[in-house]
């Protein structure tokens, strides 16, 4: 799984109650194809046993700087690592790393490594807010380390809630991917993505829409963020969570989505229009709920705005424009027609009647149509992999512009 497969990750664990969640992070990294070397401080072993991480990673766990026969472990681990991740990172550990201490195996690894470092703080909210902790975090960022903000939520028993909670392992996994993706054309670029359906009102309580959940668009936004882009997501009602780090603008109607896209597009390097906006709405929505006894014989429909066509004047000359064509008949012909009519660089075509390629599933089967007429048919694959395949083509176009 990109970008984790074949990468060597040093996963540091310090002595905080949040260390119970680090086991799942180790599992996620291993399942994604990474080789995970767990390094635990002595305090961490009071919370979670080393055997837990050995079982989850299938690799030895390192705990002692002065273990006989392994005196140079900190050098070997530091040199082999593609990234060093410390989760949780306690206030004490942040302070020691900020001041260059190397009195245990984990802090010695950080001092010896040239790999990118990701620190994931977890502590009481008052400790996180303390001025000394904030000065240490500022200094660590100045040193080039990535320190992510803790979540707000329930803390240890009896401590209530507040900022200081360790982010969930899935969110940390995304941050690990972002520090591993260092050389792509997306780093520092601005990418605009749309996702989900829109809703066109029939009356104050009913609407016309479709079965889109937003999974494909969110997968693209997540992959673009992981590759280093600044990502803006314009989304209709979603049934999937959006990872942290992505700017989200929520809309209801197709007109609202078009307005939001036109506003953000002039500052964007690429637009990936993965949403499934409603093509029709009521010509005259009712001002009040339509009662059963008042059921009309027919409801007149009117076409909604064509979002991609409406962006022509807002498009920067260098921007890469990508559309989606969800079809149920001759999908490829529909995609080619959309490519030409809307002046796009790429169109991603799929047939919603194919098994595993429709709405509300985790997989997709698409064909990518290029401006020059070339087509690339991709097999059935997870939507996360489809997202990367699309962004690979967008990245190639960005390098040319």
Catalytic residues: 210
Residues in the chain: 401
Residue 269 in contact with residue 318, Cβ under 8 Å? yes
Alpha-carbon span 45 to 333, nearest angstrom: 61
Pairing of β 375-377 and β 146-147? unpaired
Whole-angstrom distance, CA of residue 331 vs CA of residue 337: 10
Tokens of 73: 């472990």
CA angle 133–139–143, rounded 5-degree value: 140
Helices and strands, counts by H and E, the chain: 13, 21
Whether the Cβ atoms of residue 16 and residue 123 lie closer than 8 Å to each other: yes
Residue 235's DSSP bridge partners are: 195, 250
> What number of CA atoms fall less than 13 Å from residue 12's CA on the CB side?
32
Spatial distance between the Cα atoms of 61 and 39, rounded to a whole number of angstroms? 6
Helix (H, G, I), strand (E, B) or coil at 125: helix
What does the block give as tokens for 126? 């008052």
**Cβ count near 61 (within 10 Å):** 22
Which helix H or strand E contains 381, and what residues bound it?
A: strand 381-382
Q: What burial class does residue 58 get, using C-beta atoms within 10 Å of its C-beta: 0-12 exposed, 13-18 middle, 19+ buried? A: exposed
Quick one: CA dihedral 13, 166, 193, 351, positive or negative?
positive
Alpha helices, DSSP H, located in 32-155: 50-57, 73-80, 91-98, 105-112, 125-129, 131-142
Q: Which two tokens stand for residue 291?
A: 């009662």
User: Which DSSP string do the residues of 310-337 spell out, in sequence order?
Assistant: HTGGG--TT-EEEEEEEESSSHHHHHHH
At 123, phi and psi to the nearest 5? Answer: -170, 175
């Amino acid at each position: 799984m990109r970008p984790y497969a074949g990468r060597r990750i040093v996963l540091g664990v310090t002595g905080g109650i949040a260390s119970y969640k680090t086991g799942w992070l180790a599992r996620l990294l291993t399942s994604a194809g990474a080789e995970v070397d767990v390094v635990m401080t002595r305090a961490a072993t009071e919370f979670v046993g080393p055997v837990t991480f050995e079982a989850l990673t299938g690799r030895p766990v390192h705990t002692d700087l002065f273990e006989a026969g392994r005196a140079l472990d900190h050098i070997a681990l530091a040199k082999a690592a593609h990234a060093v991740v410390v989760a949780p990172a306690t206030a004490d550990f942040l302070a020691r790393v900020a001041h260059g201490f190397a009195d245990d195996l984990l802090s010695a690894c950080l001092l010896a490594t040239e790999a990118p470092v990701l620190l994931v703080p977890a502590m009481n909210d008052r400790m996180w807010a303390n001025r000394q902790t904030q000065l240490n975090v500022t200094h660590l960022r100045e040193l080039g380390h990535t320190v992510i903000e803790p979540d707000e939520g329930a803390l240890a028993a009896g401590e209530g809630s507040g900022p200081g909670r360790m982010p969930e392992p899935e969110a940390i996994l995304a941050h690990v991917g972002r520090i591993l993706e260092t050389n792509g054309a997306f780093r520092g670029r601005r990418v605009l993505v749309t996702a989900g359906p829109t809703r066109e009102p029939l009356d104050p309580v009913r609407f016309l829409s479709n079965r889109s959940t937003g999974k494909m668009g969110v997968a693209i936004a997540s992959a673009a963020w992981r590759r280093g882009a600044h990502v803006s997501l314009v989304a209709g009602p979603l049934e999937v969570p959006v990872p942290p780090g992505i700017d989200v603008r929520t809309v209801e109607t197709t007109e609202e989505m078009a307005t939001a896209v036109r506003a953000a597009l002039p500052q964007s390097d690429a637009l990936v229009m993965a949403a499934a906006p409603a093509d029709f709405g009521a010509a005259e929505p009712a001002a009040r709920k339509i009662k059963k006894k008042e059921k009309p014989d027919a409801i007149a429909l009117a076409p909604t705005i064509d979002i991609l066509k409406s962006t022509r004047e807002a498009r920067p000359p260098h921007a890469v424009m990508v559309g989606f064509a969800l079809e149920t008949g001759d999908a490829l012909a529909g995609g080619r027609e959309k490519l030409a009519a809307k002046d796009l660089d790429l169109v991603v075509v799929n047939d919603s009647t194919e098994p595993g390629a429709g709405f509300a599933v985790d997989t997709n089967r698409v064909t990518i149509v290029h401006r020059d007429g070339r087509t690339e048919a991709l097999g059935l694959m997870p939507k996360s992999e489809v997202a990367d395949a699309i962004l690979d083509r967008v990245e190639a176009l960005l390098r040319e512009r």
